[in-house]
Amino acid sequence: MKKLKIRQIIMAITAVITVTSCGNSDEYDGDWDDMIWKTEVKATEQDGTYLVAATGGELTFSCKNYQHPWISEALYAGEYYNPDVQDDEHHTINRQKLSLDWFKAEITGNLLKVTFAPNQATTERPIKLYVTAGDIFYSFTFKQSANK
């Protein structure tokens, strides 16, 4: 009889711990706030696309509500590009940098710096950059003017 009571008490305590530890926490429910990005310098924007001069340049954005976002990938000319691989024995992916011949994106803390080399071609260069902070994603669309 005494063993049965102890067993019931242990089961009740276990049930209480299980129920309270599996509660509905808003912090981890996947309902994340949208990323809020602000440009540090006035950038020309048209229909959600940042316009970049053919001469190239640099744009800086700051994420106002996430401290450490990272780069997911970029889409250019129908092809996806991944963040840079560090040249070490494990070929580690550096999710803070992504580089093409003419385009570079780098995140430090909550700051994103995007650099465009001059466009010598007679066609525009549109590129889409995807960033993330875990379960939340954001995309930047840029279009660099053609050299005329």
Chain centroid to CA 57: how far?
22
How would residue 8 be classed by pLDDT, with cut points 50, 70 and 90?
A: low
How would residue 25 be classed by pLDDT, with cut points 50, 70 and 90?
A: very low
Q: Flag whether pLDDT at 70 surpasses 70.
A: yes
Q: Flag whether pLDDT at 23 surpasses 50.
A: no
Distant-in-sequence, close-in-space partners of 39: CB < 8 Å, separation ≥ 6: 59, 60, 61
CA dist., res. 108 & res. 69, Å (int): 9
pLDDT score of 11:
63
In contact, 23 and 115? CB cutoff 8 Å: no
CA dist., res. 22 & res. 51, Å (int): 48
CA dist., res. 140 & res. 97, Å (int): 15
CA dist., res. 39 & res. 58, Å (int): 11
- Please state the pTM of the whole predicted model: 0.76
3-class DSSP string for 75-102:
EECCEEECCCECCCCCCCECCCEEECCC
Q: Flag whether pLDDT at 117 surpasses 90.
A: yes
- Please report the sign of the dihedral spanned by the C-alpha atoms of residue 25, residue 27, residue 29, residue 34: positive
CA dist., res. 113 & res. 61, Å (int): 7
pLDDT score of 14:
61
The residue-averaged pLDDT of 90-119 equals: 92
> What is the enclosing helix (H) or strand (E) of 14?
helix 2-21
DSSP state of 122: S
pLDDT score of 93:
76
More confident residue, 11 or 81: 81
